[in-house]
Amino acid sequence: MFTQLSIHYSDEWADPGKQHIPAAWKDIEDTDELAEAVYDYTREVLITLHEHGALPDFVQVGNETNGGLLKEQVGNDWPRDAQLFNAGIRAIRDVTAELGMGPQIVLHVAQPENTGWWFQEAISHGVTDFDVIGVSYYPQWSTFSITDMGSQVTYLRQTFGKEVMVVETAYPWTYETAGDTADNVLDKGIGDYPVTIAGQRQFMIDLTQTLLNNGAWGVVYWEPAWVSTACHTLWGQGSHWENATFFDFAQDNELHAGVDFLSYDYSQPSMPVDGVIQPAYGEALLTDEVDDNLDQQPWLDLLSLHMTDDADSLYLALTAAGDALAAQTGTYLIYLDTTDDAQGATEDVGRRPITVADPHKPEFRLDVQIENRMGR
């Protein structure tokens, strides 16, 4: 089992809407001095954990830092933000050098729609020495399906050369509450996943497998044990999350089957999607000429289709004449005809975005969604 520490740098929960400066630092106005405080605190935390045999495997420099960190008015000030992020990063690297061991560094953004532009800005402002892109993925608040989330993992890995983890996700198993006064935050289901224990379990299985297929390092469920108690938050007594935990409040908080996603027998793809056609694919199964695609869009001009398999999966790889990341955004259908048969007819030939052979009726169709770095 791996452990992960999220340093919020705040006296309360930090998220995209609030990154309040802790009381101990509230009078620090100089960015250099604040960066020094971030460095010292981060180093002290890690050294203390190491002394207790609890050095984590992953450390987040901030939590859901879409709008930066350590500020009363959330909004990006990249020169300032970059200095603060790099101070925390430098502290972790220095501890690693001192101890001869240390955690992987995670930068964490809420919702996959925000990852492309955010990491582009961060890297362009000199925040480069980190290991993992961390993403919160809550489908209730995201336009991304599970499939989209997998595609975004591949995009992020290929574009930024970093590993990717979903470091927060959850799904509700009931609409009911434990009778406390803290309203539950997650109150909607999606698609084919009912708001039941079985639905929660299946959502997590499908998400986890999709992430693995696309080369993600892992997934962290948040928060599996926030059961209702007599304790209070700022907004009420009890838990805002008891309907998304793995404990049934109607059965004396007995562990329920949603947690079984952890023991599911996942397929471990030998070739996760990474934007590079590996030698194992061999020669192209199908090839096509350049400049014979609809509307002369190079990113839809398919040149070759490759295929390989392992014990568990069939893998397809495509090459195109143009860069899909430079494409006009939208959803496209790629029609594949894998035989030389003559049955085809001519229906809808002109509107096929691409074919790889004569315009027969396709035997396979791939749905391809092209997004810009804003996730749109």
Mean pLDDT of 28-35: 97
**CA distances (Å), origin 123, targets 118, 127, 167, 223, 356:** 9, 5, 20, 30, 38
pLDDT band at 147 (very low <50, low <70, confident <90, very high): confident
Cα-to-chain-centroid distance, residue 279? 28
Interval 70-89: pLDDT, tens = 998 888 999 999 999 999 99
Residues 6+ apart with CB under 8 A from 242: 177, 178, 180, 184, 226, 227, 228, 249
Higher pLDDT, 94 or 351: 94
Tokens 């705040």: give the residue: 10
Q: Per the structure block, which two tokens stand in for 219?
A: 């997934």
**Residue 353: what pLDDT?**
38
* Residue 369 pLDDT greater than 60, yes or no: no
What gap in Å lies between CA 262 and CA 205, rounded to an integer? 8
Mean pLDDT of 299-322: 76
Mean pLDDT of 150-172: 94
Lowest mean pLDDT among 169-173, 214-218, 314-318, 345-349: 345-349
Q: Is 252 helix (H, G, I), strand (E, B) or coil?
A: coil
What letter represents residue 219's amino acid?
A: V
Q: Is 168 a catalytic residue?
A: yes
Interval 112-145: pLDDT, tens = 999 999 999 999 999 999 999 999 999 999 999 9
Percentage of the chain beyond pLDDT 90 is: 64
Q: What is the largest CA-CA distance in the chain?
A: 78
Taking domain 4-263, whether its CATH number is 3.40.50.1110 is answered by: no
Mean pLDDT of 164-193: 95
Q: Which of 64, 113, 163, 371 is catalytic?
A: 64
pLDDT band at 359 (very low <50, low <70, confident <90, very high): very low
Lowest mean pLDDT among 3-7, 35-39, 263-267, 368-372: 368-372
Higher pLDDT, 198 or 358: 198
Q: How many residues does the chain have?
A: 376
Q: Which of 163, 168, 242, 371 is catalytic?
A: 168
Percentage of the chain beyond pLDDT 70 is: 81
At 317, which helix (H) or strand (E)? strand 314-320
Looking at the chain, which residues constitute the CATH 3.20.20.80 domain(s)? Answer: 4-263
Closest CA to 56 of 3, 133, 134, 8: 3
- What is the residue-averaged pLDDT of the chain? 86
What gap in Å lies between CA 200 and CA 259, rounded to an integer? 9
Higher pLDDT, 352 or 48: 48
pLDDT band at 360 (very low <50, low <70, confident <90, very high): very low
Task: Quote helix, strand, coil % in the chain, to nearest 5.
Answer: 30, 20, 50
